[in-house]
Chain A
Amino acid sequence: MTKIKVNGTVHELNDVSEDTPLLWVLRDHLGLTGTKYGCGVSECGACTVHIDGEAVQSCVTDLSEVGDSEVTTIEGLSEDGSHPVQKAWKEFGVPQCGYCQVGQIMMAAAMLKSNSAPTDEDIEREMWNICRCGTYPRIRAAVKAAAQEINQ
């Protein structure tokens, strides 16, 4: 049995092998389907979650690597979608299909914690997530707006 702490709750996992990527533990064993599969090789960022506050790609993070760390998924980012990044995403109408947006939001939220006034270059470097709908222009604008709100 393995224990894992997700969104403040400790879960006990039976019969889940230690080398299972966190992504599938969250989705298939804990039913937290907000975190998405996109590539499985950390190329697209759709599976981004926070581990102890840092953005991590859950598709390449084995359960054994999580240990006692705190995992935060989109379901735990805010109770009601009121995180500044989520609010900015709504204000700018960022999502098209919406599939990659959870990963984008988690990535942006983690970035803004360490850099609350990102430049265009910072945003381009840190927000490397793939969006096939092409929402990048709005992501850029929404990240800046979220940064402003955080700084107020």
Chain B
Amino acid sequence: MTAVGASTLLEPGSAGALRPTGGGVGHRAIVATRRLLRSSRMVIGLVLLVFFVLVAIVGPHLVGNPNAFVGPSMAGPSARFWLGTTMPGQNIFYQLVDSTSGTLEVGFLAGALATLVSVVIGIGGGFVGGYVDELLALFSNVILIIPGLPLIIVVASYVKSSSLLPTILIIAFTSWAGYARVLRGQTLSIRNRDYVLAARVAGEKTWRIIFVEILPSELAVIVSNFIFMVIFAILTQSTLAFLGIGDLSTLTWGNMLNVANNDEALTSGAWWWFVPPGLCIALVGTALALVNFGLDEILNPRLRVYKAPKVRR
């Protein structure tokens, strides 16, 4: 005898009680939200992000004039000046709050613009195919490989301007290439999938195929790219401002650091001047990165960690 063993034992009272599976759309949405919120990275990231956006919108109305000379030179943090004062005696906390909107503005606008360019060039090229695609791909690769910051520095210093717009434009048009390449690869693979081919054979309009069949399936990648480009734009703008290039009249965290560095906050030991702005930049960047990792965790189950009772290996 060889085939052996008791099958599932029938438990008393369990007869006919099949466990319900599946559920409606509403149920699925709740499950998705719950999974979203179970990712602690996602929650921390979102909370931080919402906080900074609120500060950017409401903050400037709650604090006094950040440029007014209100106190002693380079005073440390106190009850009156929470983060101390600058060399000419400005309130650093006011400056910090006021800078939030400028920094976020550059980040989101440049990120959005770069995403747009990468979507048009990446998906457009990938979908159209042929020589157009080859040329666009070559163009993307060339742009990708030319080091961005030196180019931005040269261009921004040649074009003298007193608004953040040129900075936004330059950052956007030097940073789209990497993601265009990713999107092109995705599009090339989706383009030949059955449902897209079927839509083509059925004579659907090109724009419909792109917007209905292709774009939705790449949405996750596009969102993730957008988040990374916002981080990149914020870091680049801060670097430029710190180096004293581009518009220096609008208050941003990078700008604050530039002034602090020029006024030798470092060698005067005025840590309260140069630590907070950098910390804010890093926190916004971390918040965005956490949201992205959270998304990744939700979309790529392989990265999830299971809490098994007995972990092998």
Do A and B originate from a single complex?
A: no
Residues of A within 8 A of B (CB): none
